[in-house]
Chains A and B, each alone.
With several copies, the nearest count.
Chain A
Amino acid sequence: MSVLVDRETRLVVTGITGREGTFHATNNKRYGTQVVAGVTPGKGGQEVEGIPVFNTVQESVDKAGANTAMIFVPPRFAADSILEAADAGVRLIIAITEGIPAHDELRVYTQLRRNPDVRLVGPNCPGILSPGKASVGIIPASFFRQGNVGVVSRSGTLTYQIGNELAQRGFGNSSIVGIGGDPVPGSSFIDIIELFEQDPETEIIVMSGEIGGSAEEEAAEYIAANVTKPVVAYIAGFTAPPGKTMGHAGAIVSGTAGTARAKQEALEAKGVRVGRTPTETAEIAMEILGAK
């Protein structure tokens, strides 16, 4: 088992004819993901590396049976592309695009929330990897192998770093889910932790957070109330000075709330162990798995 993407995933890639879209769609396909379609308006009927291209997401659903969409269009078109995928009946939408206007994200989130059957992961996320089954997005899949650690992270490269630390210690992953660091992520830590809790393959959950917002604090409450599996956390941004933007819009620190320290304390208060570095985080996970 794993969460969200697996051998049943039938992926449509919007923006497939762009340079990056082609590169990563091809990578995902090569990994073994069923990439059944691409969408680029006006290029319907073409093919990209053997993947048929359609004019609309609706066509990719009707004709190629797509059930998952990866959004790879430029930021100004991404909200429209996500709404199109949802309208076409796609149940899981994974938005890689970085730099989507925050108000676009807000509109999309508010609209999608009205349909509980549709799940958005991202935007501004590296995607989802279920090692040995399917890779959707830009996670360098060859570094990870199948196992029992579920990883959920707001940061792309930090996800790889932590996954890699685990891999070097011999641990594999059920799934690695990047939820993105944008102001309005489609899925929260809680949403993904809930899935890992239900996933039989996952034995331990590693969550990687960062400064800004309150998603980690909310996850702490949720974990204490609902999660039976061990959770280990990492928080980036202890060194960030207050009031400075650190690249993610999600990383605006306002006052004390949202600091790395506040998040660490909130998690530890609920019994979640927090590693001080990616390495220490991996070591704690290892220790817990060893102790089981």
Chain B
Amino acid sequence: MDLLEYQGKQLFARHGIPVPSGKPAKTVDEAVAAADEIGYPCVVKAQVLIGGRGKAGGVKIAKDRAEATRHATDILGMDIKGFTVHEVWIEGASQIAEEYYASIVFDRSAKAPLVMLSTRGGMDIEAVAEEDPTAIARLHVDPLLGFQDFHGRKLAFAANIPADLVRPVGAMLTKLYAAFEAEEAMLIEVNPLIVTPERDVKALDAKVTLDGNSLFRHPENAELRDPSAEDPQEQMAHERGLTYVKLDGDIGILGNGAGLVMSTLDVVAQAGGAPANFLDAGGGSKADAIVSAVEVILSNEKVRAVLFNIFGGITRCDEVAKGLIEAFDIVKPEVPFVVRLDGTNDVEGRKLLADANLPNVATATTMNEAAEKVVELAKTGVAA
């Protein structure tokens, strides 16, 4: 789960990580009131879950109230790479002497947290990594031992941080690691980590990704999910406990198991079709989950045909068939369906479907055949 910048900064503040003070605002009035309270100059920052907002005009300095009003008006409602700005963060302008970069990533390959530090902050770190990999100091941490003071020194000296800043930058890394561990983050990134003219160290930005699976231990973080920042279909799916990702095509896809669904997308694409979504109904899907899934898929108006690709293991095909029959009863879909059922209780499932004789539902015995049929149906409304 990604946090907005200001949510990340509030999380940082809880762990004693110095951040500029500020206030979030959802309307121009709120934004101007916040700016007045914080004082000028201040910065008006779009809160969206996508990078590159600075270049898109989503971050502006306001010297006075007139500018704050103008910027808040411009930024609220702005579209940044498909994300609408529903909220801004007003913070006091910081004096910047140096811009560094710091991050902690849950490194799946090394199976350990990876801490990175560079003096080349304030810019695209991937570009820095490509151009000069030695500019980024890296260190893996044994998760049972944790981040030690010497790790901070080792990184700071390796990154050529000036001697007087080794201690405060190390202390910042120690606190970032504590936050990473305590909040069960998958990523914490500070870019830029600034040094003020007074040689204080502060997190001027905050990118935090939390582990959705751990939110039951962090109720205060679970509340941070911002439904307004999500796509409405994805939001509906999330509420119903389904994993759904909207895509650009016109063929609705439902499968069980992320791998099989990804494979289904690939096979449909190979057959010349364009998937409209990724939807994993999950293990052990019951009939009502299937009803919800059909509703989510069809809530996307682009969908012209739907493919069900089920290989039952923990999921039982008869349950899927029951759900599909129920969904047709409730939703009465107007687009054609192709259904492929294999695995646990497939015979029973196929029989249920045959007996129900649903309108506009074709069956297929293999994944490839199913893909070809649905692509044809999406194009012509008629199965090949």
Contact = CB atoms under 8 A, between A and B. Distances in A.
Interface of A: 20, 24, 41-42, 44, 55-59, 75-77, 80-81, 83-84, 87, 98-104, 106-107, 109-111, 126, 138-140, 143, 153-161, 164, 181, 183-184, 208, 210-215, 218, 234, 236-241, 244-251, 255, 260, 276-279
Interface of B: 106, 108-109, 111-113, 126, 142-145, 148-150, 153-154, 157, 163-164, 166-167, 181, 184, 186, 211-214, 216-217, 243, 245, 247, 255-263, 265-270, 275, 278, 280, 283-284, 311-315, 342-344, 366-368
A150 to B, nearest CB: 18
B278 A246 contact: yes
B213 A99 contact: yes
B259 A218 contact: no
Contact of B245 (A77, A84, A103, A246): A246
Contact of A110 (B144, B186, B314): B144
Contacts of B255: 157
B143 A103 contact: yes
A284 to B, nearest CB: 15
A278 B313 contact: no
A192 to B, nearest CB: 16
A42 B245 contact: no
Contacts of B157: 41, 44, 55-56, 59
Given A110-B142, A111-B145, A247-B243, A277 B150 contact: no
10 contacts: A100-B213, A106-B106, A110-B112, A110-B143, A155-B260, A161-B260, A218-B109, A238-B265, A239-B265, A244-B245
Contact of B367 (A58, A140, A277): A277
Given A157-B313, A158-B257, A276-B270, A102 B106 contact: yes
Most chain B CB neighbours (cut-off 10 Å) among A55, A84, A158, A260: A158
Contacts of A211: 262
A208 B260 CA distance: 11
Given A84-B150, A140-B343, A247 B108 contact: no
Contacts of B270: 276-277
A30 B278 CA distance: 35
A184 B106 CA distance: 10
Contacts of A214: 108-109
A187 to B, nearest CB: 12
A238 B267 CA distance: 9
Contacts of B280: 246-247
A183 B280 CA distance: 18
A84 B214 CA distance: 20
A118 to B, nearest CB: 14
Contacts of A244: 245, 278
A275 to B, nearest CB: 11
A61 B343 CA distance: 34
Contacts of B106: 102-103, 106, 183
A83 B148 contact: yes
Contacts of A57: 150
Contacts of B108: 183-184, 212-214, 250
Contacts of A213: 108-109
A100 B144 CA distance: 18
Listed residue (B163, B184, B243, B263) with the most chain A CB atoms within 10 angstroms of its CB: B263
B143 A157 contact: no
Contacts of A241: 247
B184 A20 contact: no
Given A247-B278, A255-B126, A160 B311 contact: yes
A143 B345 CA distance: 11
Contacts of B112: 106, 110
Contact of B111 (A75, A184, A245, A251): A184
B364 to A, nearest CB: 13
B150 A247 contact: no
Contacts of A101: 184, 211, 213-214, 217
A114 to B, nearest CB: 9
B259 A210 contact: yes
Contacts of A83: 145, 148, 150
Contacts of A212: 108
Contacts of A184: 108, 111
Contacts of A76: 216-217
A244 B261 CA distance: 14
Nearest to B369: A279
Contacts of A255: 126
A164 B311 contact: yes
Q: Max chain A CB contacts within 10 Å: which of B211, B247, B262, B270?
A: B262
Given A106-B111, A111-B145, A247-B280, 14 more contacts: A20-B284, A59-B157, A75-B213, A102-B184, A103-B143, A110-B142, A126-B313, A157-B260, A157-B313, A239-B262, A239-B266, A246-B258, A247-B258, A278-B267
A279 B113 CA distance: 38
B143 A277 contact: no
Contacts of B256: 157
A42 B184 contact: no
B365 to A, nearest CB: 10
B259 A155 contact: yes
A102 B112 CA distance: 11
Given A42-B163, A110-B142, A213-B108, A161 B367 contact: yes
Contacts of B148: 80, 83-84
A143 B341 CA distance: 13
Q: Which 3 A-B pairs have the closest CB atoms?
A: A155-B259, A157-B257, A247-B258
A139 B313 contact: yes
B354 to A, nearest CB: 21
Nearest to B253: A239
A244 B213 CA distance: 17
A143 B347 CA distance: 13
Given A158-B257, A246-B245, A277 B267 contact: yes
B260 A158 contact: yes
